[in-house]
Amino acid sequence: MSKKLLYSLLTILMLVTVALVACSSSDSSETASCAPDCTYEEMTLCYPQLGAESDWRTANTASIKETADQLGAQLIFSDAQQKQENQISALRACIQQDVDVIALPPVVEDGWDAVLTEAKNANIPVIIVDRSVSADSSLYAAHIGSDMVLEGKRAAAEFNKQFPDGASILELSGTTGSGAAVGRANGFREDLNSNIEIIDSQTGNFTRAEALPVMQAFLQKYTPGEDFQGIFIHNDDMGIGAIEALKAAGVEPGDLFIVSVDGTRGGFQAMVDGWFQADVECNPLLGPQVYEMALKLMNGESVDRETLTNETVYYPDNAAELLPSRQY
Ligand code: AHR
């Protein structure tokens, strides 16, 4: 055999070996070295929380932290203060630290492709938690959270029942571009009867502080009862901010038909006090499901791509009875 032929054969052999190694590492990608017997004690989970904007979020953070403590898992937690760039930096820091699993509650839907690709290239599985992302689903392992579209539809059903002859209403929406706000707004519009008109919609960014001036501005423009008969509010914290503005303007509980989302203690209190006529549940207690799925991913087990939380709608008639047992 000539030297030239031998070199060519060796080169081909080398290329085939490199290709095989590359293939096998992407095949076994995202499985931890302890697989298939990894335990929670061996897990380091990264949770770049999006912020602390609401009671819902506080309960979600507590659920993630408490579950880590109970299971003996390591948690790398950060608070992005509702800024996507902070979440992306936190994600990159976790990739650098080579965590086992990333669980990401994304502040907005768009703009995750690059960092999710980086996590994928580093063989770190990502679970999208709570809100959704618009990125290609091949870039993450699964999503665990609420059906935000269904929540919007449930809110619409309350308005349809209350106003069979039509009405004008306002909408106080959540963070612009967030899966929660987009889903709720879309579901609401899909199911709202055509004789109910949303005369104005503004964001209160899911916070009490930002909802208050938005409601005040609404009240400068529109007369309650005359120009509008109801308000759809995307979360309880904004509802509580709005109530402050309504009270200051002399509006009484029950003058307007108000439907909120979350089912926090604050929302229940607003039902007891007569301000909210319904509260659509959005459950933040996702810790146990997140860690269970994270362990499966470490062990190379298959997981459901979509896990939606089973939720309901709460009403004032039994709000006082349920309030003491609310966990958030
Ligand atoms: O994504 C869930 C939403 O985010 C909750 O409705 C809200 O309270 C939170 O801020």
Q: What is the pLDDT of residues 17-26, one digit of tens each?
A: 433 333 333 3
Q: Which two tokens stand for residue 111?
A: 């703009």
- Measured from the Cα of 51, ligand 1's closest atom is 10
CA distance linking residue 312 with residue 133, whole number of Å: 24
Distance in Å, CA 145 to ligand 1 centroid:
11
Counting ligand 1 atoms within 8 A of each CB, the residue from 87, 175, 235 with the most, and so the one to mutate, is: 235
Distance in Å, CA 57 to ligand 1 centroid:
6
Global pTM exceeds 0.85 = yes
pLDDT digits (tens, 9 = 90+) for 84-102: 999 999 999 999 999 999 9
Distance in Å, CA 18 to ligand 1 centroid:
46
Counting ligand 1 atoms within 8 A of each CB, the residue from 206, 237, 308 with the most, and so the one to mutate, is: 206
R_g over Cα of the chain = 24
Q: Is 39 helix (H, G, I), strand (E, B) or coil?
A: coil
Q: Is 201 helix (H, G, I), strand (E, B) or coil?
A: strand
pLDDT digits (tens, 9 = 90+) for 238-268: 999 999 999 999 999 999 999 999 999 999 9
Local confidence band at 183 (pLDDT 50, 70, 90 cut-offs): very high
Residue 75: CB atoms within 10 Å: 19
